[in-house]
Chains A and B, each alone.
Chain A
Amino acid sequence: MSAPTWKTYLFTYLGLLGLLLVNTLIAFLNLGGFGTVIEIGLATIMACLVAGVLMHGFYQMRLIQIIIAGGVIWFLIMMSLTMNDYFTRGWLPFHEG
């Protein structure tokens, strides 16, 4: 993939502002728990745009892309195992002693 240009940065920036606006407007709707999923989802898309275009993640050599993927996967493991613990804590009866 060729390196980003001035135009690429400008369109990415406009896209980010658009996503920010959409995310803020959606937050005013009553979507229950689904609203939070959309908010975090849109924030993730924005983060991918910043990391991929402005930080050249899409254009970097394979080693760096593996480092990025490793960091993100490690974070997701930390998040999912912790939440798994909190969700399932009450499933089994607790016996003292």
Chain B
Amino acid sequence: MSDPVALELREHFATVEQQRGTADTGMWVFLMTELMMFGGLFVAYTVYRFNHPQAFAEGSASMDIMLGSVNSAILLTSSLTMGFAELSAKLGRQRLLGILLLVTILIGLAFLGIKFTEYVEHYQQHEAPGVWFNRSGPHAPAVQMFFVFYFIMTGLHAVHMIIGIFLILGLISRNMIGSLSAAYHTPVSIVGLYWHFVDIVWIFLYAIFYLPGLHK
């Protein structure tokens, strides 16, 4: 089998370390643009919550804290398996790498499954914004805004999860054809950065959508 390092080292880099450092830097710059994108939504949410605190507490009280907490733990677990996958790649343990990447995908799918269940519940309880929304009370319009933020922000997060799953599928296929090794495992680190970032976004989504409704 040909040397994976020689195959993957691009001509404008002197060493694979230099190539890895450049890839890391580029990925972090990309993640900071992601931070700005989600950040804009977090700022908008904060403005509306300051203007309508009771309505947002009312909307948050409709969240299923059990499903939200379990999903948070599930996503943190997927970050652990992704971290272990990165270590396996670094040590050249290809079989373990494949298994851990597969487990990460399965955990990610479990997260999405639970999220979908929550969406269905909200739809059935007429909490989905738009023509489906049906709630009475003085705060109803602002409660609808809470759900607008909830669906847009968690939906955008879910889209990132789906992209992450496809990226990990790509890693699994590269691992199977032998293009990853202890000497060259940059793609695993880069996808890992993306996956962990999506985890960070969820940590804040959980704090702003699920927890405010618990205040007694």
Residues of A within 8 A of B (CB): 4-6, 9-10, 13, 16-17, 20, 23-24, 27-31, 35-36, 39-40, 42-43, 46-47, 50-51, 54-55, 60-61, 63-64, 67-68, 70-72, 74-75, 78-79, 82-83, 86
**Is the pair A67, B83 in contact by a Cβ cutoff of 8 Å?**
no
**B12 on interface, CB distance cutoff 8 Å:** no
Indicate which residue in A13, A42, A74, A75 contacts B77 across the interface (CB closer than 8 Å): A13
Residues of A within 8 A of B73 (CB): 17, 20
Minimum CB–CB distance from B183 to chain A (whole Å) comes to: 16
C-alpha spacing A86/B80, complex, angstroms: 40
**Is the pair B76, A47 in contact by a Cβ cutoff of 8 Å?**
no
Residues of A within 8 A of B196 (CB): 50-51, 54-55
Could you name 22 residue pairs across A and B whose Cβ atoms are closer than 8 Å? A9-B87, A17-B73, A20-B69, A20-B72, A20-B76, A23-B211, A27-B214, A28-B216, A30-B215, A42-B207, A47-B200, A47-B203, A50-B79, A51-B200, A54-B192, A55-B197, A64-B28, A75-B36, A78-B40, A82-B46, A83-B50, A86-B51
C-alpha spacing A16/B108, complex, angstroms: 18
C-alpha spacing A72/B57, complex, angstroms: 27
Minimum CB–CB distance from B167 to chain A (whole Å) comes to: 15
Q: Which residue of A lies closest to B31 (CB)?
A: A71
B62-88 interface code vs A (CB 8 A; 1 in, 0 out): 000100010011001101101110010
**Is the pair B29, A17 in contact by a Cβ cutoff of 8 Å?**
no
Residues of B within 8 A of A55 (CB): 192-193, 196-197
A36-B212, A75-B35 as given contacts; A13 in contact with B80, CB under 8 Å: yes
**Is the pair A72, B35 in contact by a Cβ cutoff of 8 Å?**
yes
